[in-house]
A = this chain, B = another copy of it.
Amino acid sequence: MYKGLTIKPPFFEIGPKAFMYGERILKLALAADKASEKYDVRIIFTPQYTDIQMLAEATQHLLVFAQHMDPLPVGRGLGSVLPEAVKAAGAVGVMLNHAERPMTVSDLNKAIKRADEVGLVSIVCADTIEEAEAIARFSPNIIVAEPTELIGTGQPSDRKYIMETTAAIKKVNPEIQVLQGAGISNGQDVYNVIKAGADATGTTSGIMKAKDPEAMLDEMIRAVRMAWDEVHN
């Protein structure tokens, strides 16, 4: 587990996947940067690899992460995403093992070690509680408990699932942070998940497919803060 950067809860992950890039993603990143400061909520932002450096340079509060990286060392590997290159471009972390980019057990283990080595926060996705427990053995910084069947459905995780996954992961390693994913469509969904006890949540479709992505982003980050304050104050 990389110790060089601790992400203080509450936090929120925005995953542009392949929806936005270039000028458009810059606009969204600037809005996220502003919302992060305004609501005192940490935002993990995972753009296309090619946009990492631009966004890292243009923002002050945003936590720019790569969408994936390969566990290879410096050397051969055409078409790869080298951990050192991700770090050098200004990313502070990396997402691993998303359902759209699954990794083998061995590569995931190695990639988390490489993240620790080069100094990147690792956020790793798990489909089931069992997978979350297994992945916890590799000591990533954050685990995304995101039941694959919910991705893009607009149905948020419920309190029971949130409590169980968090407890199961913390039992293996209490230092691992848990992000509750899947099914976030609007501020109310965000509010519900954080109110149900989560430290963090996130979305792709909820913002990417919104009529006004920047407005939806603001609505969601505001909801994080509101629910968090109600639970923790």
| Residues of A that sit less than 8 Å from B by CB | 15, 17-19, 21-23, 46, 48-54, 66-68, 72-82, 84-86, 88-89, 91, 95, 97-109, 126-128, 130-131, 133-135, 137-138, 148, 152, 204
CA distance A51 to B87 in the complex (A): 11
CA distance A168 to B147 in the complex (A): 28
Question: What copy number does this chain have within its complex?
Answer: 4
CA distance A138 to B40 in the complex (A): 39
Give 19 A-B contacts (CB < 8 Å), ordered by A residue: A17-B75, A18-B82, A21-B84, A22-B85, A22-B89, A48-B81, A49-B49, A49-B50, A49-B81, A50-B85, A67-B79, A76-B152, A76-B204, A102-B107, A104-B104, A105-B135, A106-B148, A109-B127, A134-B138
Which residues in B have their C-beta under 8 angstroms from that of A22?
84-85, 88-89
Smallest CB separation, A148 vs chain B (Å): 8
Check A100–B127 contact: CB distance below 8 A. no
Check B134–A85 contact: CB distance below 8 A. no
> Which residue of chain B has its CB nearest to the CB of A129?
B137
Smallest CB separation, A108 vs chain B (Å): 6
CA distance A131 to B80 in the complex (A): 23
Q: A18-B74, A99-B106 are in contact. Are A82 and B48 (CB under 8 A)?
A: yes
Smallest CB separation, A115 vs chain B (Å): 14
Which residues in B have their C-beta under 8 angstroms from that of A18?
72-78, 80, 82, 85
CA distance A232 to B200 in the complex (A): 53
Q: A18-B82, A54-B53 are in contact. Are A109 and B130 (CB under 8 A)?
A: yes
> Which residue of chain B has its CB nearest to the CB of A47?
B85
Check A67–B78 contact: CB distance below 8 A. yes
Which residues in B have their C-beta under 8 angstroms from that of A100?
76-80
Which residues in B have their C-beta under 8 angstroms from that of A106?
99, 102, 127-128, 131, 148
Select which of B19, B133, B204 is within 8 A of A74 by beta carbon.
Answer: B19
CA distance A137 to B105 in the complex (A): 13
CA distance A105 to B54 in the complex (A): 33
